[in-house]
Chains A and B, each alone.
Chain A
Amino acid sequence: MTDWINSIVQGVLLGGYYALIACGLAFMFQVMRIINLAHGSLAVLAGFAIWSIAGHFGISPFLALLVVLPGMAAVGWLLQRGVLERSARAGLLVPLLATFGLAIVIDNVLFEGYGADTRSLAPFIDTLAYDSWAIGNIYIGQLSVLIFAVAVAMLGSLSLFLSKTHLGRAIRATAEDPDTVGLIGINARKVNVFATMIAMLTVAIAGMFLGMRATFMPYSGGAQLVFAFEATVIGGSGSLWGTLIGGIILGVAQTVGAQINPQGFLIAGHLVFLIVLVARVSMPFPSWPMLFSWLRRQPS
């Protein structure tokens, strides 16, 4: 029994990481209806940038992140102005192809620069990489809890930002009707640039935690994209808090799958993703906030 509880707890915590990596992907999809296929590669790029700065200056990856964040914001500006804005004019499919191409370019540039060796940020964070709290026979990794807490804090901050600030409201309005925002004085182009920059800030944070919890190499982006995409779809394609739920469902599916069969980790996650995808396509499937609101209204 303890093994099963342990699997679920580890799955929930793993879901925090998936929510973190999916956050930027969901945000861009929600605002611009663009699926950024370079998302995973950009997270790996941020991971390498943090690894390089932390290694070169001998500083904590958290400090290196502070240096990388403005750089990733600049990457977001370039990505929106140079790739997404131009390709979006040609229809829905072209941004998909353009970001797919960009992912290949990023992967190969990283391969040229860093080679095929795997890297990790774990050596820079001392015992945080493996310290844990023991509750009975269940061990809860401190890094996993930190990642989960950061994911919740990031999604909460983004939700507050979207509802309480002018730029947040402008982003929501642009997401809902990009043709009308101009008629009330909002420059939709500029709003989309800010949205992409914000998404890249979340990607930088996800890239740092990717490097802390696992090893990474130039071609690790594809797998990260798949996990982010699966969490986004399970969570309701663009809903921020839904992304956390999607991440948790994916994480729990993987750890429970591994509990059933050591090789079932990835398969179980993909299977749950496929079931949710088919359900969403073939029948009216409420968003997670709608579902919770409906459950709250039911008499106890």
Chain B
Amino acid sequence: MSDILAVEQLDVRHGLLQAVRGVSFSVTKGEIVAFVGANGAGKTTLFRTIAGAHRPTGGRILFEGSDVTALPDYRRVQQGIALVPEGRRLFMQMSVRENLQLAGEVGRPGRWDVKAVLEVFPNLAARINAKAGNLSGGEQQATAIGRALMTNPEVLLLDEISLGLSPAAVGRVYESLKALMETGTTILLVEQDLNRALSVAHRVICMLEGNIAAEGPVEEMTRERIMDAYFGLHRAAGAGA
């Protein structure tokens, strides 16, 4: 299968701090890839750079074979890359409907509209005219994912969608994601909850200090291998040997 997204030797700096160091990977259409790693490993920076919110200092990003590295964030959305940012970043003074409509009006044409989003997130139907700032955490997360879907993305980046949610709310969001995954949308997700990540992903990429420390299909990535990469133990073991 052809790659829908390819990241080649990507470097990203925040001032003096290099957050992402020469990261390369590719994703095929319909694949679900989970990014795991400790805080500060560079996952959020990597996602924001793919979405166009950060400019890389080196490397390139290819989307459907075209170099999109120089495109601003809003152009990448129009190309088919959508990010659900960490912290949701909804427009809190606007209603759920307005949040969804706004994204739908500028996004690509496709299957997602307000009705389709409400089918995936039925709990939003009763809250459609409520201000986003008055929603529960789970409802806000569902709105944030729905807002990204309204742009009809080919690649959906989900950054820490379970952050700050109760276990029940996380369960509901992931239940809805299963319906989304059946639509064949390519999904990259950052997730701290390893079990959740492994339950939905086809492939896992483990990041450490801005690098990819380990990657592979879910079946090959044992818990021990992931934890070793997560804490950098594979490096220590290599040095010891």
Give A residues with C-beta under 8 Å from B: 166, 169-170, 172-173, 176-177, 179-188
Q: Say yes or no for B210: interface residue by CB 8 A criterion.
A: no
A177 to B77, CA, bound (A): 17
A-B contact pairs, 27 of them (CB 8 A): A166-B101, A166-B102, A166-B105, A169-B94, A169-B101, A170-B102, A172-B94, A173-B102, A176-B92, A176-B93, A179-B53, A180-B89, A181-B74, A182-B52, A182-B53, A183-B51, A183-B53, A183-B82, A183-B85, A183-B89, A184-B103, A184-B150, A184-B151, A185-B78, A185-B103, A186-B74, A186-B106
For the residues of A in contact with B, the DSSP-based class is: helix
CB distance from B144 to the nearest CB of A (A): 10
Number of A-B contacts (CB under 8 A): 68
Q: Determine if B94 and A184 form an interchain contact, defined as CB atoms under 8 angstroms apart.
A: no
Q: Kindly identify, within residues 63 to 80 of chain B, every residue whose CB is under 8 Å from any CB belonging to chain A.
A: 72-74, 77-78
* 6 closest Cβ pairs, A-B complex: A185-B77, A182-B73, A185-B106, A184-B103, A180-B89, A182-B74
B: interface residue count bin = 20 to 34
Q: Say yes or no for B91: interface residue by CB 8 A criterion.
A: yes
Q: Determine if A177 and B89 form an interchain contact, defined as CB atoms under 8 angstroms apart.
A: yes
A188 to B53, CA, bound (A): 13
Residue in A closest to B84 when the chains form the complex, CB atoms: A183
CB distance from B5 to the nearest CB of A (A): 16
Contact residues in B for A186 (Cβ distance below 8 Å) = 74, 102, 106
A187 to B77, CA, bound (A): 11
Q: If the complex has contacts A172-B94, A176-B94, are A184 and B52 also in contact, measured as CB distance less than 8 A?
A: no
Q: Say yes or no for B46: interface residue by CB 8 A criterion.
A: no
A40 to B101, CA, bound (A): 36
Residue in B closest to A174 when the chains form the complex, CB atoms: B91
Residue in A closest to B52 when the chains form the complex, CB atoms: A182
CB distance from A170 to the nearest CB of B (A): 7
Contact residues in B for A185 (Cβ distance below 8 Å) = 74, 77-78, 103, 106-107, 151
Contact residues in B for A172 (Cβ distance below 8 Å) = 91, 93-94
Contact residues in B for A176 (Cβ distance below 8 Å) = 91-94
Q: Determine if B92 and A184 form an interchain contact, defined as CB atoms under 8 angstroms apart.
A: no
Q: Say yes or no for B60: interface residue by CB 8 A criterion.
A: no
Map CB proximity to A onto B103-147 as digits: 1 under 8 Å, 0 otherwise: 101110000000000000000000000000000000000000001
Q: Determine if B93 and A183 form an interchain contact, defined as CB atoms under 8 angstroms apart.
A: no
Contact residues in B for A170 (Cβ distance below 8 Å) = 102, 106
Apart from A180-B85, A185-B74, list 16 A-B contacts with CB within 8 A. A166-B101, A166-B102, A166-B106, A179-B89, A182-B52, A182-B72, A182-B77, A183-B77, A184-B106, A184-B147, A184-B150, A185-B103, A185-B151, A186-B74, A186-B102, A187-B74
Contact residues in A for B53 (Cβ distance below 8 Å) = 179, 182-183
The listed residue (A173, A187, A188) touching B91 by CB distance below 8 A is: A173
Map CB proximity to A onto B204-237 as digits: 1 under 8 Å, 0 otherwise: 0000000000000000000000000000000000
Contact residues in A for B103 (Cβ distance below 8 Å) = 184-185
A186 to B147, CA, bound (A): 13
Q: Kindly identify, within residues 133 to 180 of chain B, every residue whose CB is under 8 Å from any CB belonging to chain A.
A: 147-148, 150-151
Residue from the set B51, B74, B148 with the largest chain A CB neighbour count within 10 Å: B74
A183 to B147, CA, bound (A): 10
CB distance from A174 to the nearest CB of B (A): 9
Contact residues in A for B148 (Cβ distance below 8 Å) = 184
Contact residues in A for B150 (Cβ distance below 8 Å) = 184
A188 to B98, CA, bound (A): 17
Q: Say yes or no for B83: interface residue by CB 8 A criterion.
A: yes
CB distance from A112 to the nearest CB of B (A): 41
Residue in B closest to A188 when the chains form the complex, CB atoms: B74
A179 to B106, CA, bound (A): 16
Contact residues in A for B94 (Cβ distance below 8 Å) = 169, 172-173, 176
